[in-house]
Structure 1
Amino acid sequence: MKRINSIAQNIENIQIDFYLYKQPTEAPVLLKEIKPCDALLFGGTLPYLHAQSALSELPIPWNYIKQDETAISTTLLSLVANHAVPLNRISIDVMNPAIVENVLTEIEYVGPKPYIQTISITKLTQSILQHHIALWEANSIDFVITSIHSVFDELQALQIPAMRMLDATNSIIQCLEETKSQSLLTKSESVKAAVGLLEASENKPIDDNMLTQITAITHSTYKEISPYSFELYTTAGHLQKALEKENLQNLLQQTNQSFKLAFGYGHSIVEANHNAKNAITFAKPCEIYILDEHKNLLGPFPKSELSLTLKTDDPYILQMAKQTSLSPLNISKIIHFSRERQSAQFTSHNLAEHLQVTRRTTERIIKKLVDNGYAKVVGEEMPHQQGRPRTIYELNFAVY
C-alpha cells in the first residue's frame, strides 16, 4: 500500500482508497465493502483470481498488477546483488513458473535451477509456506522469494531469510496509467448520446405498455412521432447495460406485437438521430441494430453481434466501388457474406437474403461484379421442383 501510494504521487488526477486484506481469500468479501469509485485495481494476481467470478457484476473497469518477467528479473538481480545467494539455493513461489524459466533462458543460465512452487487459488497458502520451511530445514536452500505477503511475514517470524517479489516501479506506473485510461474510456463511452427509433411493423399503433417497458429498461425518455413511431433518448451506457443483461432482447421476443427497433450513437443528439435512421433500414421484427459514431453497424441482437462498417477508407474497397459503381457499404456486406458462408459458391438467392434486397437488385449487383472480374459463373443449381436453374457464382477477390 505504501509503495503504490508513493508511486501514484507521480500520476496526475488520481486518488486511491485502499481495502486491505490479511489473506488473498478475503478479496471477494472486500469487494462488497468498496465505496463508489471509477475503477478497481488489485494489488496482485492472487487476490484478483479469488475475486474474478464476482467482477462481471461490477459496473466499473478493473485491472490487476501482473507478475511478469520484469518482476522476476528485478527480484533475482536484487537477491544476487544484495545477498550473493546462488540461484540453485533459493525457493521461489510464483503465479506462472514459465516466467521464471523464460528469465533463466534469456540470461543464458545453465546451472542447477531454483526450487519453484506454483501459486493457485486451489493451493492453500499454508502448504506453500510449509514447503519453503521443509526445504530450509533440510538445508536445501539459503533463501526464499515469495509472492505472498502473509508467507513472508511467517518466514520473518521464523527467522528464515526471505524477501518479497519486487514489482518494478515502471510496471506499477504502467498499470496505474492503464487503469486510469480504462476509467476515462468507460466514462466517455457511457455518456455518449443514444437515440432509438421504435416503429410498428404492422399497421397497428404501438402498445403503451410495451413502450413503457422499453423506456424503463433503457432508462430513456421518448417523443411520439406518430402512433406507429417513437423516438427514444438515452445514453450508450444505459443501452449497453440493457443489452448485456438481455432484458431488451427478452422483451422483444416475448411480445406479440411486431415492430422494429434500432439505435444510433453520436457525440450529439443530431448525430445519434441520423445514425438511428440509417440503422432502422437494416432492422427486422424482433431484432435490434446499433449504428455507432464510427459508422460501425452492430447487430442483430440477440441472434448475433455482427459488426459491419458503413464507412471505409480501405483503398482496396474504394477501388472496387469505383470500378463496379457499387457503394462501399454493399461491397463490405458482400465481403462479410463471403466470410460467414461455409461454401465459396453462392446463388443470387443466397446473396439477396443476406443483403435484404430484392432478387432483381441482387442480380444487378452480381452482374457488375462479374463484368469487372470480381465474380465468376461456376455452374448451375437445378431446383427440386420445376423451374429455371439457378446460376452458381464464386467471388474472385480477397475477402480477408
Structure 2
Amino acid sequence: MSTKIAVISSLAFRDRLISIAQEVENIQLEFYIYKTPDETPMLMKQIKPCDVLLLSGTLPYLYAKPLLPSWPIPWTYLQQEEFAISTSILSVLANNNLPLSKISIDVMNMQHVQNIVNDIHYEGPLPFIQEIHIDKPFDHIFRHHKQLWQDEKIGFVITSIHSVYDALTAEGIPAMRMHDSNSSIKRRLEQTKALSKMTKSESAKAAVGVLEFLESIEDYQLVLQRIVATTHASYQKIDDKHFELFTTFGHIQNAFHHNLLESFFNISKHPIKLTFGYGVSILEAQKNARQALKFATPNSVFIMNENKELQGPFPKDPTTLSLQTKDPYVLRMAKETKLSPLNISKIMAFSVSRQSLQFTALDLAEYLQVTRRTTERILKKLVEHGYAKVVGEEMSYQQGRPRAIYELNFSTYH
C-alpha cells in the first residue's frame, strides 16, 4: 500500500518534486500550493485525509509551527542545509565568473554561510547576506537585493524565497533559487515515508488499561462506557471495583491529544484510578498497567510503557519515572543507603519538578504519597551518607518541634 504524502509547496517546487518522487517506491503526493509561504496555515486546514505531511522548506515550516503541536498526523519538513547553500554558491561561481563578494544571498541562518567560508579557509570579502525572518516582509529582502544590483555592488542573487526570485527575474536581475540537491530531496521523501510507517506501527502497539473504582458506586457503568467509547476499547470485569480495557497505543494517544481523558473524572462524584500499560504483547501491556496501578493517585491517569517508565499524573503536569535502572550512580547510592533504586529515582524526579532547592519532609511525603515518618527515615539515610543535608528549620506557629529544611547533595539530572 502506498504512503499518501500531503505536500505544501510553491508551484515552482512541485514539478521538481514530482520528478524526484518517481525514484521512491510506493508514495503518492497530494499537493497544496501556496503563492507565498504565509499561506501555509490556511492550506493546512484544507488537507484531506493522508498519512503524513511534508512542508517543502523552512519558511512554510515556520509559518506552520504554531499549528504543529496539535497536528493529528506525523509531519516533517525540508530543512535548509549548508550543503544546499554551498552547492548554490559553487554553481554561481563556476557559471558566472564572479568573485564571492559580488553575490547577494538570503538564507534562514547566516551562520551557515559563515561555516561554509570557514570550512574552505576563505579569507576574502564575504558575499552580501540577508537572514530571513517571517516577521520581516519578503518585499524588504527583494528591495535590498535590487538596491545592491542598482548600485553595481553585486552581479548575482541567490534567494531562498520563490516569490523573491520571481520579482528579481521580472526586473531582469540575474538570480537563482537556492538549490537543494536531488539526493537530499529523495532522502527526505524516503524519511517521510518511513516516518509514516513507524507512526502506524507504534499506533498499533498493544495497550491495556485498568480502571479502579475506589468505592462501590451506582454510576460506574456510565464512567466505564464513556472510557470504553473514548479509547475504542473492549473490556472485561475483574471484580466489582476493577475492569480491564483492551485497546491500542494510537487510540490512547488520540484521547490525550483531544483532552478527552480528563473528562472521565468529572462524570462520577467518587474517586477513580485509571492506568494504561503499553507493550509488544497484550500480556506485557497487562502487567505494566497493573504495576502502574500501584503508583496511581485518585482522579488521574498513569501510564507505564514497555521500558518500565511510569508517566503521570495526567492531565496535570506529568513526569516520567523509570522503575528500572542500570545507572551505576543510582545503583551505588541504593547500595550505600539501603534505599531502593525506585525511591532514589522518585527523589530525583521530585527535585527536578520543584522550583526551590529546599524542601521539608512533608513536601517530599506529599510527592511520594507516603507518610511523613517514612519520608523522615528516607531523609535520615540520605543525610547519614552525605546525599542530603539539613540547611535550616521551618519556624512553626503551633506547638511541636520545628521542621527541618533539607537540600539534596547529589546530581539529580540523570
In structure 1, the residue corresponding to 2:246 is in which secondary structure?
strand
Match of 1:365 among 366, 378, 384: 378
Counterpart amino acid of 2:333? M
Residue 183 of structure 1 pairs with residue 200 of structure 2: no
Q: 2:153 & 2:380 partners in 1: Cα distance?
A: 79
TM-score, normalising length from structure 2?
A: 0.84
Q: 1:149 & 1:105 partners in 2: Cα distance?
A: 28
- Residues 29-49 of structure 1, C-alpha deviation per residue, up to 9 Å, x if partnerless? 443443433222122122233
Residue 222 of structure 1 pairs with residue 235 of structure 2: yes
The aligned counterpart of 2:323 is 310
Counterpart amino acid of 1:387? G
In structure 2, the residue corresponding to 1:398 is in which secondary structure?
coil
The aligned counterpart of 1:292 is 305
- Residues 46-98 of structure 1, C-alpha deviation per residue, up to 9 Å, x if partnerless? 22333334434432111111123222211111211221112222222223334
Q: 2:392 & 2:32 partners in 1: Cα distance?
A: 69
- Which has the higher mean CA deviation after the structures are superposed, 177-186 or 302-311? 177-186
Going from structure 1 to structure 2, the CA distance change for 1:379 and 1:121 (only over 3 Å counts) comes to: closer
Residue 320 of structure 1 pairs with residue 333 of structure 2: yes
Q: 2:364 & 2:47 partners in 1: Cα distance?
A: 52
Going from structure 1 to structure 2, the CA distance change for 1:349 and 1:146 (only over 3 Å counts) comes to: closer
Gaps of 5+ in 2: 1-13
Shift of residue 110 of structure 1? 4.2
In structure 1, the residue corresponding to 2:278 is in which secondary structure?
strand
What are the residue-to-residue correspondences of 1:1-400 with 2, within 5 Å? 1-5=14-18, 7-8=20-21, 14-253=27-266, 255-342=268-355, 344-370=357-383, 372-375=385-388, 383-390=396-403, 393-400=406-413
Shift of residue 22 of structure 1? 4.1
Q: 2:147 & 2:391 partners in 1: Cα distance?
A: 73
Q: 1:29 & 1:399 partners in 2: Cα distance?
A: 44
Going from structure 1 to structure 2, the CA distance change for 1:35 and 1:391 (only over 3 Å counts) comes to: closer
Kindly indicate whether the alpha-carbon contact (under 8 Å) linking 2:319 and 2:349 is maintained by their aligned counterparts in 1. no
Q: 1:242 & 1:144 partners in 2: Cα distance?
A: 49
Q: 1:363 & 1:91 partners in 2: Cα distance?
A: 67
Q: 1:312 & 1:328 partners in 2: Cα distance?
A: 7
Shift of residue 293 of structure 1? 0.9
- Residues 323-355 of structure 1, C-alpha deviation per residue, up to 9 Å, x if partnerless? 333321112112222333455554443332222
- How many aligned positions are there? 400
Going from structure 1 to structure 2, the CA distance change for 1:200 and 1:136 (only over 3 Å counts) comes to: same
Aligned-residue Cα RMSD (Å) equals 3.0
- Which has the higher mean CA deviation after the structures are superposed, 65-74 or 97-106? 97-106
Q: 1:360 & 1:235 partners in 2: Cα distance?
A: 41
Q: 2:321 & 2:185 partners in 1: Cα distance?
A: 37
Q: 1:390 & 1:28 partners in 2: Cα distance?
A: 55
Going from structure 1 to structure 2, the CA distance change for 1:248 and 1:141 (only over 3 Å counts) comes to: same
In structure 2, the residue corresponding to 1:265 is in which secondary structure?
strand
Counterpart amino acid of 1:308? L
In structure 2, the residue corresponding to 1:77 is in which secondary structure?
helix
Identical pairs, percent: 56
Kindly indicate whether the alpha-carbon contact (under 8 Å) linking 1:219 and 1:234 is maintained by their aligned counterparts in 2. yes
Going from structure 1 to structure 2, the CA distance change for 1:342 and 1:23 (only over 3 Å counts) comes to: closer
Kindly indicate whether the alpha-carbon contact (under 8 Å) linking 1:300 and 1:306 is maintained by their aligned counterparts in 2. yes
- Which has the higher mean CA deviation after the structures are superposed, 85-94 or 46-55? 46-55
In structure 2, the residue corresponding to 1:145 is in which secondary structure?
strand
Going from structure 1 to structure 2, the CA distance change for 1:147 and 1:345 (only over 3 Å counts) comes to: closer
Going from structure 1 to structure 2, the CA distance change for 1:229 and 1:130 (only over 3 Å counts) comes to: same
TM-score, normalising length from structure 1?
A: 0.86
Kindly indicate whether the alpha-carbon contact (under 8 Å) linking 2:70 and 2:257 is maintained by their aligned counterparts in 1. no
Kindly indicate whether the alpha-carbon contact (under 8 Å) linking 1:193 and 1:272 is maintained by their aligned counterparts in 2. yes
Counterpart amino acid of 1:201? L
Shift of residue 300 of structure 1? 0.8
- Residues 83-120 of structure 1, C-alpha deviation per residue, up to 9 Å, x if partnerless? 11122222222233343344334444444433333434
Gaps of 5+ in 1: none
Kindly indicate whether the alpha-carbon contact (under 8 Å) linking 2:109 and 2:131 is maintained by their aligned counterparts in 1. yes
Q: 2:202 & 2:162 partners in 1: Cα distance?
A: 37
Kindly indicate whether the alpha-carbon contact (under 8 Å) linking 2:58 and 2:78 is maintained by their aligned counterparts in 1. yes
Q: 2:138 & 2:356 partners in 1: Cα distance?
A: 54
Going from structure 1 to structure 2, the CA distance change for 1:206 and 1:311 (only over 3 Å counts) comes to: farther
Counterpart amino acid of 2:257? E
- Residues 125-178 of structure 1, C-alpha deviation per residue, up to 9 Å, x if partnerless? 455444434443443322121222343345445543222211134543443344
Counterpart amino acid of 1:93? D
